[in-house]
Amino acid sequence: MNIRPARPEDAAAWVQMRSILWPEADLGEHRREADQFFAGHFPRGPWAVFMAEDPTGKVVGFVEVSVRPYAEGCSSAQVAYLEGWFVQEPARRSGMGRSLVDAAAAWGRARGCQEFASDAEVDNEVSRAAHCALGFADVGVVRCFRMRLAHDAAADS
């Protein structure tokens, strides 16, 4: 297995895996974000993407990591944040996911981060177990809310 920074030729594989991880976003949105990342115009930053290759050189996983000024349960002002983490089914349980997270942690350390944070949907027990197995501590559950500030009250529904 090989873990390396993402390259422009990885865009199609990255977009495909992102669409599996985050199916609520449309494919066009994933493509735009990949294009922006490789063009150096990603709206959120600093940001890094690492790819995992199987022994044949096929990309089978990725991790996205950023630096955030705050993360739930953290006390430092600069936190490495695991934004996205995915390994395709045949390559799971091979250590590839751990290697991707290790690369993301090293990237955060190199930027002066002393804490590493992440999140998962409340009911995603597989993700919770995977995070805990890698040494993340579960620091609680947060329910998020939103309200549209539209002129039309019907838009709030």
Q: Distance between CA atoms of 47 and 141, rounded to whole angstroms?
A: 25
Q: Is 104 within 8 Å of 65 (Cβ atoms)?
A: yes
- Other C-beta atoms closer than 10 Å to the C-beta of 146 total 6
DSSP string of 56-71, one letter each residue: TS-EEEEEEEEEES--
Name the pTM for this structure: 0.84
CATH ID of 2-156, from 1.10.260.40, 3.40.630.30, 3.30.450.20, 1.10.4190.10: 3.40.630.30
Q: Distance between CA atoms of 111 and 79, rounded to whole angstroms?
A: 10
The reported pLDDT for the residue numbered 71 is 87
How many angstroms from the chain centroid is the CA of residue 22?
10
Q: Domain coordinates of the chain in residue numbers? A: 2-156
The reported pLDDT for the residue numbered 87 is 93
Q: Is 61 within 8 Å of 54 (Cβ atoms)?
A: no
Instruction: Enumerate the H helices of the chain as residue ranges.
Output: 11-21, 27-39, 96-110, 125-133
The reported pLDDT for the residue numbered 54 is 92
| Mean pLDDT, contiguous 10-residue spans, the chain (157 residues) | 94 94 90 87 78 94 92 89 91 89 95 91 88 88 80 58
Say if residue 5 is preceded by a cis peptide, omega within 30 of 0. Answer: no
Torsion angle of C-alpha atoms 100, 104, 105, 106, degrees rounded to 10: 100
The reported pLDDT for the residue numbered 140 is 82
Structure tokens at 84: 């996205």
